[in-house]
Structure 1
């Protein structure tokens, strides 16, 4: 396991993730393709919600809505694409129990501004970076051709998304603060995945 923060190729050229996803997660995911697909739909829906939430929270922040509005639309387009595959395969959208991953990251967002804004951008970027890494693995290892193509098609936009969150942070915060806080939150993200959740999820 690589103990340095590993770089994911993307527009941001920023190193995000400390640890690579384990082979155990890959085996769990490809053994439960429909449950992973259902959770993927929820992830896209939630990602759109995060972008919208930031737009509403920082409604007067110059240049923010112009970036986040198209991002939210693209996340919803991905949601609709995944939903279409679910429907075609006779799987209805339904609630799923969530692993502690997202809640753990959210708890580590600073409650006071302006660090709350910085942390919100970085946590959103970390989740996008992990999603990108795992979709890349599924695009390689999934035995299902349709799903393999789905994940491969989404890689470029997923990489662009975490690049967007980096750019939003980099335009508003001093670089040393930005990189040191990313390292701290990347450790939280890595630790949240050290003990793999027993349910097959994109972030288990």
Structure 2
């Protein structure tokens, strides 16, 4: 059966290009790898929120917003870990795609630019996760995985919405939109190309539709 995907960027305004059918087919072909990677992604997302809290301790509003986000990310990690355990699958290290490193490398070093870029990169990762979980919730052949990814969609959308609010409140809409466009292009570049090894499929492995 040929999959026809609606354009997720119509809903996820952060993203400059939608994920491809080939990524979805690869993810559905090795769902256990994507599930293990998903657990790592939730853990890393909690770590990013905590890192930002510690980096900017004088911003009281930041801590009040990111602390609950970090807890929720860890709850999601535990949810995915529980599913792995029920299926007799171990959480093991996986080689990471270049995606996260490429986005991190684009973050500017000086403040306040570093803060803006860090928020936007975190939001872009959340937005891409949301988009791809939505695809899996709609198209995974595994009912349990469809339920899992569907359950997480609302909170994933709230997470990238929170990072948007942090940017807009501190830097204004114009500066936020302008820098987001630049970083969204970096994000698409990091996801461009073909996956040479099927075992390298991840939540953020390559696979986007370029215009």
Residues 92, 108 of structure 1: alpha-carbon distance in 2 compared, 3 angstrom cutoff: same
Residues 140, 172 of structure 1: alpha-carbon distance in 2 compared, 3 angstrom cutoff: same
Contact 1:7 / 1:16 at 8 angstroms: preserved in 2?
no
What per-residue deviation string (whole Å, max 9, x for no partner) do you get for residues 10-46 of structure 1? Answer: xxxxx21011100000000001011100000000000
Q: Distance in 2 between matches of 1:170 and 1:138?
A: 30
1:133: which partner in 2?
A: 131
Counterpart of 2:14 in 1: which secondary structure? strand
Note the 1:7-18 alignment, pairs <5 A. Answer: 7-8=10-11, 15-18=13-16
Correspondence for 1:149 among 133, 147, 155: 147
2:17: which partner in 1?
A: 19
What per-residue deviation string (whole Å, max 9, x for no partner) do you get for residues 149-193 of structure 1? Answer: 000000000000000000011110022111100000000001111
Counterpart of 2:19 in 1: which secondary structure? coil
Q: Distance in 1 between matches of 2:52 and 2:194?
A: 29
Q: Distance in 1 between matches of 2:39 and 2:119?
A: 21
CA RMSD of aligned residues (A): 1.4
Note the 1:10-159 alignment, pairs <5 A. Answer: 15-159=13-157
Structure 1 stretch 80-89 or stretch 190-199: which is displaced more? 190-199
- Under a length normalisation based on structure 2, what TM-score does the superposition of the two structures give? 0.90
Counterpart of 1:171 in 2: which secondary structure? helix
Counterpart of 1:17 in 2: which secondary structure? coil
Contact 2:43 / 2:73 at 8 angstroms: preserved in 1?
yes
Q: Distance in 2 between matches of 1:163 and 1:196?
A: 30
The runs of at least 4 aligned residues of structure 1 exceeding 6 Å deviation read: none
2:9: which partner in 1?
A: 6
Note the 1:174-185 alignment, pairs <5 A. Answer: 174-185=172-183
Contact 2:8 / 2:131 at 8 angstroms: preserved in 1?
no
Q: Distance in 2 between matches of 1:44 and 1:62?
A: 24
Q: Distance in 2 between matches of 1:125 and 1:112?
A: 20
Contact 1:51 / 1:71 at 8 angstroms: preserved in 2?
yes
1:12: which partner in 2?
A: none
Contact 1:7 / 1:17 at 8 angstroms: preserved in 2?
no
Q: Distance in 2 between matches of 1:176 and 1:66?
A: 25
- Under a length normalisation based on structure 1, what TM-score does the superposition of the two structures give? 0.93
> How far does residue 5 in structure 1 lie from its aligned partner after superposition?
10
Q: Distance in 2 between matches of 1:36 and 1:120?
A: 25
> How far does residue 200 in structure 1 lie from its aligned partner after superposition?
1.0
Count of residue correspondences: 196
Residue ranges of structure 2 left out of the alignment (5+ in a row): 1-6, 206-211
